[in-house]
Amino acid sequence: MVITRGVLINEGRSTARVRLDGEARFIEGESPLMPGANILSPPTVGTFGGPDYLALEHILRPGEVALFEWASGHQLKAWAETYDQGKTPEM
């Protein structure tokens, strides 16, 4: 299992609508990238897609920060076999 976290910062002058697809999600917590900050999950604003696909969109206002987490689990053999091909292993 590979788990990584990162921060998304809205450095623009207007509010952004953002979404994470697949195995990524917004979380609340702290990050060494933003020392001393307790980062809250951004508010949701609705759905995207049709009845078979549902992904919440989130609002990130100018200067706001969001913490996200991405995780993927595969057998080591699958990672090794696809490494040289530059592909993502199949589930």
Q: What is the pLDDT of residues 42-65, one digit of tens each?
A: 998 866 555 555 567 899 999 999
| Residue 11 pLDDT greater than 90, yes or no | yes
> Is residue 43 a contact partner of residue 15, using CB atoms and an 8 Å limit?
no
* Rounded CA separation 72/89 (Å): 10
pTM for the predicted model, two decimal places: 0.68
* Rounded CA separation 66/7 (Å): 6
- Polymer length of the chain: 91
